[in-house]
Amino acid sequence: MTDAIDATETPTPRRKPKQPKTMIGGREMKPATQMMGYGFDPALSEGSLKAPIFLTSTFAFENAAAGKRHFEGITGQRPGGAEGLVYSRFNGPNQEILEDRLAIWDGAEDALTFSSGMTAICILMLASVGQGDVIVHSGPLYAASEGFVAKVLAKFGVTYVDFPAGASREELDEVLKRAKAQANAGGGKVAMIYLESPANPTNALVDIEAVKDARDAILGGAQAAGGSAQESDCPIAIDNTFLGPLWQRPLDHGADIVVYSLTKYVGGHSDLVAGSIAGAKKWMDPVRALRNTMGGIVDPNTAWMLLRSLETVELRMQRAGENAAKVCAFLKAHPKVEGLGYLGFIDDPRQQDIYDRHCKGAGSTFSVFIKGGEAESFRFLDNLTIAKLAVSLGGTETLASHPAAMTHLSVPQERKDALGITDNLVRISIGIEDADDLIADFEQALEHV
Ligand SMILES: *Cc1c(COP(=O)(O)O)cnc(C)c1O
């Protein structure tokens, strides 16, 4: 057995160019440029300019030794992950190209894709926690994320501590001390700090830099004996669906893992459901291993659609952001509008400071408070002609919904009050239509109020 074939001599042919060209004029190409070609070599696919959709459940090994080597990578017996494709529950060409390109936007070492944003969030959390552990999270979270922590992980002895988005460094220190005590009492550790910023539907921002400083001060170094003195074993994950990848890059501000519902801005056409996470390999590897076991990877068709979407994500988000700024300027001055929850018009100095440090744009999803209550808000919604009445966000088309009566209907009244989810709150996601047409639509709908 000593002279077994060296599989490294006969690598599985891959669609990946060996040395992807990412430099131009002595500097790295911008993400918008890299979206057209990164990670795909047409010469490996009959010259096809666009990646074909690889509809296959399994991949042929060129010899037995290569198969063994690939399985060593998949099962983690050899570090560095799989060098070749094995089976479509683990990965596939379309998914790999997509993951490579997603990682570029956030400046991440690695990325993983999933069949939905919630699949990404659930597998990430499941891979990170053990019995007795504590998850610290900002509030409010997307309702299904909050439910997964409070109801599902609770069944396995995992508890949580939450804090309001916007908490100060001092408050965060207190929250983490409380979480650490709770973890010690349960015989576990603080396994993850999970953020969502801006929060839905309040648009409250979390100070990622303050969270990192508090984490390093309170949970830095070894929670468990033997951990390194510098690096905490408690990652900071953040759901960046509302502002990413264009308007906020959380890894630059101290987050370790960035989470997306790709269903929203990244997919951007309201025609698919998918999710992703990105970050350093050391955080991705345990999640990849659990995804290999459970499944939940995005399918090849959807991955291909997302590659299409990534080519225009910057264009679409820029246009939607410009449209939202114009629409909000109009709404702000309208006598039938009581107020706006829009990141372009922040009135709290602490929130403005976080915005200035973390955000590159105000986004295109915001809340408008109509003068009156549910009846007035419904009249406004029912008279919109361009904007469609639907939940979700980040698509090419403008959508409007009523959180108190729809997405947050099951939230108890006390919590609705605390979160500011009132009966006159209308949620709007601005698309890429003509801004003047959108303003005319909102104007005529407000006349009916
Ligand atoms: C939509 C959404 C999710 C869930 O994503 P799905 O793709 O619908 O599973 C998670 N977080 C935020 C902020 C979202 O808007």
The per-residue pLDDT for range 162-213, each reduced to its tens digit, is 999 989 999 999 999 999 999 999 999 999 999 999 988 888 999 999 999 9
Query: Which of 264, 269, 276, 302 is the best mutation target for the ligand 1 pocket, counting ligand atoms within 8 Å of the beta carbon and taking the most?
Result: 264
Q: How confident is residue 5, by pLDDT bands cut at 50, 70 and 90?
A: very low
Region 23-34: mean pLDDT is 93
* DSSP collapsed to 3 states, the chain: CCCCCCHHHCCCCCCCCCCCCCEECCEECCHHHHCCCCCCCHHHHCCCCCCCCCCCCECCCCCHHHHHHHHHHHCCCCCCCCCCCCECCCCCHHHHHHHHHHHHHHCCCEEEEECCHHHHHHHHHHHHCCCCCEEEEEECCCHHHHHHHHHHHHHHCCEEEEEECCCCHHHHHHHHHHHHHHHHHHCCCEEEEEEECCCCCCCCCCCHHHHHHHHHHHCCCCCCCCCCCCCCCCCEEEECCCCCCCCECHHHHCCCEEEEECCCCCCCCCCCCCEEEEECHHHHHHHHHHHHHHCCCCCHHHHHHHHHHHCCHHHHHHHHHHHHHHHHHHHHCCCCEEEEECCCCCCCHHHHHHHHHHECCCCCEEEEEECCCHHHHHHHHHCCCCCEECCCCCCCCCEEECHHHCCCCCCCHHHHHHHCCCCCEEEEECCCCCHHHHHHHHHHHHHCC
Rounded distance from Cα 122 to ligand 1 centre (Å): 12
Quick check: 228 pLDDT over 70?
no
- Which segment of 120-124, 198-202, 265-269, 375-379 scores lowest on mean pLDDT? 198-202
Residue 183 alpha carbon to ligand 1 centre in Å: 28
The rounded distance, in Å, linking the Cα atoms of 159 and 18 is 45
| Mean pLDDT over the full length of the chain | 92
pLDDT in tens, 380-403: 999 999 999 999 999 999 999 999
241 lines ligand 1 (CB under 6 A): yes
d(CA 334, CA 446): 9
More confident residue, 419 or 167: 167
Pocket residue to mutate for ligand 1, from 146, 241, 401, most atoms within 8 A of Cβ: 241
Can you tell me the mean pLDDT for 80-105? 93
**For 41-53, how does the pLDDT look when each residue is reduced to its tens digit (9 = 90+)?**
999 899 999 999 9
Percent of the residues in the chain that have a pLDDT greater than 90, as a whole number: 84
- At 12, is the pLDDT very low, low, confident or very high (cuts 50, 70, 90)? very low
| Cβ neighbour number for residue 221 with a 10 Å cutoff | 12
pLDDT at 1: 36
Give per-residue pLDDT as tens, 316-331.
Answer: 999 999 999 999 999 9
When pLDDT is cut at 50, 70 and 90, the band that residue 4 belongs to is very low
pLDDT given at position 77: 86
pTM for the predicted model, two decimal places: 0.94
For 77-91, the pLDDT digits (tens) are 887 777 889 999 999
- For the CA of 393, the closest atom of ligand 1 is 15
Helix axes 435-447, 374-382, angle to 10 degrees: 130
Q: What pLDDT does residue 224 have?
A: 47
- How far does residue 184's CA lie from ligand 1's centre (Å)? 32
Residue 2 predicted with pLDDT over 60: no
Choice among 4-18, 41-55, 136-150 with the minimum mean pLDDT? 4-18
What pLDDT score was predicted for residue 17? 63
Structure token pair of residue 320: 């939607």
* CA separation for the pair 271, 390 (Å, rounded): 13
The Cα-based distances of 338 to 224, 369, 376 in angstroms read 51, 5, 12
Pocket of ligand 1 contains residue 239 by CB under 6 Å: yes
What does each C-alpha distance from 214 to 173, 231, 350, 356 come to in angstroms? 5, 13, 17, 20
**Closest protein CA for atom 15 of ligand 1:** 241
305, 271 Cβ separation under 8 angstroms? yes
Report the pLDDT value the prediction gives residue 223, as an integer from 0 to 100. Answer: 55
| Percent of the chain whose pLDDT exceeds 70 | 93
Task: Give the per-residue pLDDT at 426.
Answer: 97
Ligand 1 atom at minimal distance to the Cα of residue 200: 13
Distance of CA 264 to the CA centre of its chain: 9
Contact (Cβ atoms closer than 8 angstroms) between residue 288 and residue 112: yes
Mean pLDDT of 117-136: 98
**Residue 133 confidence class, pLDDT cut points 50, 70, 90:** very high
Residue 230 has pLDDT above 60, yes or no: no
> Looking at residue 138, what is its pLDDT?
97
